Amino acid sequence: MEALGINLGFLLVHILNFAIVYVVLRAWVFGPVTKMLEERRNKIAQGLEDARVAADARASAEKEAEKIIGEAQLKANEIIRETTTRAESIQKDMVAEAKVGIEKQRENALAEVEEERMRLLSEMRGDVSAIAIAAAQKLIGEALDEKRQRSLLAEFFSGVKDGRVLVIDDQSITGSSAEVTSALPLTEEEQSLVKKDVLQKIGDAASISFRVDPSILGGLIVKVGDRVVDGSVAGQLTNLQRSLQ
């Protein structure tokens, strides 16, 4: 060893020192450092695992949120559709009710107008009778039998004489309904007589309706189905005019 220039005692001392340093380092440095590094590695691994779990949870939460949002949107759309449909239905009902109300008011107004018209025409009939009698008396210069004159005027306006409707007295007519038109409103008694005589002609099961048309001047027009029996003064004047041409 000495030939190689190595001092054995010095070498042993160095080896011993190195061994002591190694033991000290291993016991007090390498062990804690290795443990610290292992703990850090475990923490990093745990952190990565936690991050993965958190990412999975976030992805799952996002999917769940998207699902909830989608369901909420569908529900909202359904509610909007139902609300729109209900609103449209309510609007249609309101419009229909308004139309019915307007039509009813219109019908009531027309009925009131017709009722007032009939009342005025009924009053006019009495006035016309009084004027006609007064004019006749003035024309002939003497008093007339007012009762007889009123009876003649009643026949003129009602077309009824001795309980018979003159215009259909010699007619053969049948049907399920009849419309009787007079120049002025007939009294209840006159309507009863007309209805009785017409039903005897067309059948007791038929229906009778009455209307007023001042343009026919007097007499009656009886319409049964498509057949019209014209006994009005206006019709007679028209026939007379045609015969003179």
> What's the Cα-to-Cα distance from 27 to each of 33, 39, 121, 170, rounded to whole Å?
10, 18, 135, 149
At 6 the pLDDT is: 59
At 130 the pLDDT is: 57
Structure-token pair, residue 179: 């419309």
160 forms beta bridges with 165
Give the span between the Cα atoms of 157 and 119, in whole angstroms: 16
At 60 the pLDDT is: 84
Best CA proximity match to 219, nearest among 173, 169, 175: 169
Residue showing tokens 């009886």: 222
Average pLDDT for 213-229? 85
187 contacts: CB under 8 Å, gap ≥ 6: 158
Burial of 130 (0-12, 13-18, 19+ CB in 10 A): middle
Q: What is the pLDDT of residues 36-83, one digit of tens each?
A: 878 888 888 887 887 888 888 888 888 888 888 888 888 888 888 888
Distance, first Cα to last Cα, the chain: 177
pLDDT-based confidence at residue 1 (cuts at 50, 70, 90): low
At 240 the pLDDT is: 74
- Which range, 29-38, 86-95, 116-125, 229-238, has the best average confidence (pLDDT)? 86-95
Q: Is 70 exceeded by the pLDDT of residue 28?
A: no
At 38 the pLDDT is: 80
User: Could you tell me whether strands 207-212 and 177-182 are parallel, antiparallel, or unpaired per DSSP bridges?
Assistant: parallel
Please tell me the pTM assigned to this model: 0.48
Q: Is 80 exceeded by the pLDDT of residue 21?
A: no
Q: What is the pLDDT of residues 110-150, one digit of tens each?
A: 888 877 777 776 666 665 655 555 555 555 555 555 566 66
pLDDT > 90 fraction of the chain, expressed in percent and rounded: 1
At 122 the pLDDT is: 67
Residues 158, 194 contacting (CB under 8 angstroms) = yes
Q: Is 60 exceeded by the pLDDT of residue 214?
A: yes
Give the span between the Cα atoms of 173 and 164, in whole angstroms: 15
**What amino acid is encoded at 111 in this protein?**
A
At 136 the pLDDT is: 53
At 187 the pLDDT is: 83
Cα angle, residue 121 at apex, residues 117 and 124 outer, rounded to 5°: 140
Q: Compute the chain's Rg from CA coordinates.
A: 59
